[in-house]
Chains A and B, each alone.
Chain A
Amino acid sequence: MEVDDVFDELHDAANNLGIVAPSFGTSKGKAYEVWIMLEIVVRLMRRGVDVYPHDCDDEIEPYFRVSGSPADMPAKGPNEKAPCHFKLVKNQRWFELHLGLNMEGLSTATHEIDLSVLNLPQAYALRLAGGGPFDGHVSIGLELKAHSDEYKLSHDIPRALLGVALDLDLAWAIHSWTFHTVGDASRRMERTARMDLALLTTTQLHDSSETLLTHHGAGAHSLVCPGGNEAAIDEIVGRIEALFD
């Protein structure tokens, strides 16, 4: 093949892939998030959690849909253009798993959480009320970054993630506190129902980013890709499974 033909072939191949995969190679690419989502729900299923792909009318949906852009919770009702979610059920406890859902912060700013596990009654109530950004309790929140073109993930991303956590829950950074009486008796109390936050990325993390996240109790997982650090996914699945206890 002539050298020019080689580059023409490359250009044609790129054009043809771009037609069927317009999000490929962009920061809006959903393939990574979908893979993580499927790994989580299938691993939960293997551990005895009932898993149901549902549309926004809370019916089984075989043609699963995800939103390419951050999306509010859709209103309840038939809608072939609205993203789907998973219902997770075990021990008569119910949760929902969403991709790319907008959350409303205390500031009223909205923030997208790439993958979230939510309290089902609150999610269902929001759909019944006509939808919108979710402002209830987020049990698990994951930031997913397929940034393999970077040597190490930018420091900005973990910092921004902690900023989002604080806008969703002002007391998120507080793990425990101790009360003292005048007579110097004390009682230590720990937070319960604190959002479990983690960052998963296909690339490496700076040491300082890992330190920042783990100091504040957030997961910091690098090289999470097929055949890579899949133990991180097992850890996340374990945390979700603990919600059903």
Chain B
Amino acid sequence: MAQLDERLTDLVEALLRSPLAPLVTGALARIDSAEAWRQALGEDHDRFAPRPDETPKERAFRQLELLDEVIAGRIKLELGFLERSLALSRELSAGVGDSSDERFATIMVVDQPAAPEMLEDASREENLLSGTRRERAQRLLEAWRAAVQATRSSLEISPGL
């Protein structure tokens, strides 16, 4: 397993201690595969593969950019799915017969119960199109961006190469 720069630990642990830990383990696996890239033959260049002459600080910045690309990318993709699916379900409602029927604007995952803490939604099932889901994904994206910027600033002023 590739070594994550210790200056990125706080950033990663904030998510590892949450239900979204799989998001981080996926990103760490991506770092691992990028750092092993030079050993693969016959494949085109991964832009996040390490350079032979990179310093520890440059390595930290590279890992941070890769974490950001994977995690922010995943959140933005989820928001994209949600926005498009909502618009499509409304068009579908109009086609089936009743564009004013908001019930068509729900897609429930039947065997994926939301956590018991989700008291504001009586159904307690995961709704892939809910406004709450959208708002919280947007908030996560903003919080992630702030945390990445704070980490980047910290790296810039950290001593050493």
**Residues of chain A having any CB pair with chain B under 8 Å:** 1, 3, 6-32, 34-35, 38-39, 41-42, 45, 51-53, 60, 62-69, 71, 81-83, 146, 148-151, 202, 206, 225-227
Contact = CB atoms under 8 A, between A and B. Distances in A.
Contacts of B19: 14-15, 17-19, 22
Interface residues of B, number: 71
Contacts of B82: 31
Contact of B114 (A3, A19, A69): A19
B65 to A, nearest CB: 14
Contacts of A226: 77, 80-81, 83-84
A63 B110 CA distance: 11
B128 interface: yes
A1 B150 CA distance: 10
A22 B114 contact: yes
Given A3-B154, A11-B17, A18-B115, A68 B109 contact: yes
A77 to B, nearest CB: 16
A142 to B, nearest CB: 16
A25 to B, nearest CB: 4
Interface of B: 10-11, 13-15, 17-20, 22-23, 26-27, 29-30, 33-34, 43, 46, 48, 70, 73-74, 77-78, 80-85, 88-89, 91-93, 95-96, 101, 103-104, 106-115, 117-118, 121, 126-128, 130, 132-133, 136-137, 139-140, 142-144, 146-147, 150, 154
Given A22-B112, A34-B107, A66-B107, A7 B117 contact: no
Nearest to A206: B43
A27 to B, nearest CB: 8
B146 to A, nearest CB: 5
Contacts of A69: 111
A44 B96 CA distance: 13
A34 B108 CA distance: 10
A39 B84 contact: yes
Nearest to B140: A13
Nearest to A28: B112
A29 B128 CA distance: 10
Contacts of B103: 62-63
B133 A21 contact: yes
B96 A53 contact: yes
Contacts of B128: 30-31, 34, 66
Given A32-B81, A45-B92, A25 B22 contact: yes
Given A35-B84, A62-B104, A66-B109, A151 B30 contact: yes
Contacts of A227: 80
A28 B80 CA distance: 18
A42 to B, nearest CB: 5
B30 A23 contact: no
Nearest to B97: A60
Contacts of B117: 19
Contacts of A9: 143, 146-147
Given A62-B101, A149-B70, A226-B83, A25 B20 contact: yes
A24 B20 contact: yes
